[in-house]
Amino acid sequence: MTGHRLQIVVPPAIKAQIERVAKAKKTKPQSVIVDALTYYLPLADPGLEAEFAEWDRLSDEALGEFEKSLA
């Protein structure tokens, strides 16, 4: 795998889970982490990323009201 090196600190339980998945998939832990990040951080239009970030800041009640307004 080529790319940039990034050092992170994870709790022991997460490290163990990464290692279990890597062993089950017969791959390296780095590949498991890259796959997870690729899934979690989809490439998107920067405008959409900003809009999604706004949604994260809304309360459940505000999201419910927004959903009702669409109906």
CB-based contacts of 10: which residues, under 8 Å, 6+ apart?
A: 18
**CB atoms < 10 A from the CB of 15, how many?**
12
Does residue 9 sit in helix, strand or coil?
coil
**CB atoms < 10 A from the CB of 11, how many?**
8
- Cα 70 off chain centre by: 28
pLDDT at 1: 58
Burial bucket for residue 3 (CB in 10 Å: 0-12, 13-18, 19+): exposed
Report pLDDT digits (tens) over 9-66.
999 999 999 999 999 999 999 999 999 888 877 766 677 777 777 777 777 787 778 7
